[in-house]
Amino acid sequence: MDLQLSGNTALVTASSSGLGKASAKALAREGANVVVNGRSQDSLDAAIEEVCEVATGEVIGVRADLTEADDIENLVQTTVDEFGGLDHLVTSAGGPPSGPFLETTDEDWYDAFDLLVMSVVRLVRESADHLAAGDGGTVVNITSRSVKEAIPSLVLSNSVRMSVIGLEKTLSTELAPDVRVNAVLPGPHETRRIRDLIEQGVERGDYASYEDGLAARGESNPLTRIGKPMELGDTVAYLSSPLSGYINGTALPIDGGLGNSNL
């Protein structure tokens, strides 16, 4: 299926690893010019090489810390300078630390808000005019299934990510009809973090092998497995494409049916 993204420009934040990288790969494979972003130059260089393997458009990398307003301004401006515009923004960021409420400090709360919410605020503020100038700009916010159902020991993610969904829904009306805004709510996917946890379990003797650990992670899922990162990436690419042109203001769980929420 041709998603009609060839020649478009997409900026994907926190895309040097994980679900951000999968989204960058999916968009690049569909012919979009893609800007990959990360904080570590080594990780960024490795991600660019990987994305280029499937790309049919151009791929560049821009190092930026999403908690720094100046870095975000430079990230968007570099994208526009390099490709002459910006059509699609995909916001992603690393998760805040886990822990129970009574062990979470004020600094933890402010850091989580800066990383998860203010990064999106600043990115959209810098990008909005560029997105509206094209023929169908889009924003896709990668958040977490924790906005639907609270996850034990993840008080920061459970609480702060809700603000991103409120922002996403507000932007879907304020930026329409020129720009569509949606969110994806991933459940467990086989990212590096999950792989590391499984390998640690193998070392402790919790699992006989990596494959056993991977299978155990998916036992509670109706599909009896966890997600593959590219399944999330492909959905992000679809939501960025004209083929999803009537989808706006939606927060879409991508969890294999793991969640129990009716809404």
**Is 1 among the domain residues?**
no
Contact 91, 119 (CB under 8 A): yes
Higher pLDDT, residue 116 or 135: 116
Contact 85, 134 (CB under 8 A): yes
Q: Which is it for strands 88-91 and 9-12: parallel, antiparallel or unpaired?
A: parallel
**Is 152 among the domain residues?**
yes
Quick one: 179 and 205 in the same domain? no
CA distance 40 to 34: 18
In the chain, how many domains are there?
2
**Is 95 among the domain residues?**
yes
**Is 112 among the domain residues?**
yes
Q: Give percent helix, percent strand, percent coil of the chain, each to the nearest 5.
A: 50, 15, 35
Lowest mean pLDDT of 49-63, 171-185, 197-211, 242-256, name the range.
Answer: 197-211
Quick one: 41 and 90 in the same domain? yes
Q: What is the pLDDT of residue 105?
A: 97
Quick one: 180 and 243 in the same domain? yes
Structure tokens at 244: 């999803």
Quick one: 210 and 126 in the same domain? no
Domain containing residue 121: CATH number:
3.40.50.720
Quick one: 220 and 131 in the same domain? no
Residue 167 has pLDDT above 90, yes or no: yes
Residue 260 has pLDDT above 90, yes or no: no
In terms of C-beta density within 10 A (0-12 exposed, 13-18 middle, 19 or more buried), how is residue 211 classed? exposed
What's the Cα-to-Cα distance from 144 to each of 115, 207, 211, rounded to whole Å? 14, 26, 25
**Is 259 among the domain residues?**
no
**Is 173 among the domain residues?**
yes
Quick one: 114 and 149 in the same domain? yes
Quick one: 160 and 210 in the same domain? no
Tell me the pLDDT band of 236, cut-offs 50, 70 and 90: very high
Quick one: 100 and 203 in the same domain? no
DSSP bridge pairs for 182: 140
Q: What's the domain range around 202?
A: 190-226
Closest-CA residue to 161 (of 100, 120, 194): 120
Report how far apart the first and last C-alpha atoms of the chain are (Å, whole number): 30
Quick one: 71 and 56 in the same domain? yes
Transcribe 182-234 into DSSP letters: EEEEE--B--HHHHHHHHHHHHHTSSSSHHHHHHHHTTTSTTSSPBPHHHHHH
Quick one: 240 and 120 in the same domain? yes
Q: What is the pLDDT of residue 262?
A: 83
Quick one: 93 and 14 in the same domain? yes
Lowest mean pLDDT of 41-50, 67-76, 172-181, 254-263, name the range.
Answer: 254-263
Residue 250 has pLDDT above 90, yes or no: yes
- By percentage, how much of the chain surpasses pLDDT 70? 100
**Is 260 among the domain residues?**
no
**How does pLDDT run across 121-132, given as a tens digit for each residue?**
999 999 999 999
> Mean per-residue pLDDT for 153-169?
96
Contact 59, 51 (CB under 8 A): yes
Q: What is the pLDDT of residue 121?
A: 98
Tell me the pLDDT band of 111, cut-offs 50, 70 and 90: very high
Q: Output the pTM of the full model.
A: 0.95
CA distance 3 to 16: 23
> Mean per-residue pLDDT for 13-17?
96
Provide the mean pLDDT of the chain: 96
**Is 2 among the domain residues?**
no
Query: In terms of residues, how long is the chain?
Result: 263
Tell me the pLDDT band of 73, cut-offs 50, 70 and 90: very high
Quick one: 194 and 218 in the same domain? yes
> Mean per-residue pLDDT for 30-42?
96
Tell me the pLDDT band of 261, cut-offs 50, 70 and 90: confident
